[in-house]
Amino acid sequence: MTRLNPTEAEVADDSDPPERSFRVLVANETAAAIDAERLEVAVRLAFADSDYTWVEVSVAVVDDEMIHELNRQFLDHDYPTDVLSFALEDDPPRVEGEIVVSLDTANRCAGEAGWSADDELLLYVAHGALHLAGYGDKTPQDAAEMRAAEAALLAKLGVVVSPEDSRWQPDAQEGH
């Protein structure tokens, strides 16, 4: 993600930084137990170094059937996916968005990744939040920056990515 250099006026401004406002709501639409607090922390960490000072994000944990329907309805993709993120308002320094993650996909893919379904779900939330915070993943360079940001965010939460997980290999940096 390309960060702009501050202007001279911003550098010379010795006033207090703006107060940050975070509102993260997590809704579990499945029967399984999830760690909502951990997901909320991931969203907060995704925006910690961003230029956004007013952040309102909702996270919905759903099953494959629901995310498939949303993927079809909003992106015209006829398959379930791991995560969807929607920016409802993006007017810096304010952002409002929604993240939808599939617990079924996390359960299915966690073993391949070499970690728990909770960590896989956490990755999906981090990925969606980073998209809302301004990260892209359509070009190889953007995808590499996204993966690095995801790994850093996960490390702050005590999660170490497996070097055997192909998603973390340099040649796997295609857009999501």
DSSP symbols for 104-136 = HHHHHHHHHHTS-HHHHHHHHHHHHHHHHTT--
Q: In the prediction, which pLDDT does 16 show?
A: 54
Residue 168 DSSP one-character state:
G
Model confidence at 18, pLDDT cuts 50, 70, 90, reads low
pTM: 0.86
Does a structural domain hold residue 40? yes
Does a structural domain hold residue 41? yes
Share of the chain above pLDDT 70, in %: 86
Does a structural domain hold residue 148? no
| Domain limits for position 108 | 20-136
Model confidence at 17, pLDDT cuts 50, 70, 90, reads low
Does a structural domain hold residue 102? yes
Model confidence at 166, pLDDT cuts 50, 70, 90, reads confident
Q: In the prediction, which pLDDT does 47 show?
A: 96
Residue 81: which CATH number? 3.40.390.30
Does a structural domain hold residue 15? no
pLDDT exceeds cutoff 60 at 3: no
Q: Are 103 and 32 in contact (CB under 8 A)?
A: yes
What's the whole-number mean pLDDT along residues 165-172?
75
> Among 92, 81, 124, 100, which residue's Cα sits nearest to residue 28?
100
Number of domains in the chain: 1
Does a structural domain hold residue 2? no
Does a structural domain hold residue 46? yes
Distance from the Cα of residue 173 to its chain's centroid: 16
Considering the chain, what is the average pLDDT of its residues? 88
Does a structural domain hold residue 88? yes
What's the whole-number mean pLDDT along residues 68-91?
97
Q: How far apart are CA 64 and CA 114, in angstroms?
A: 21
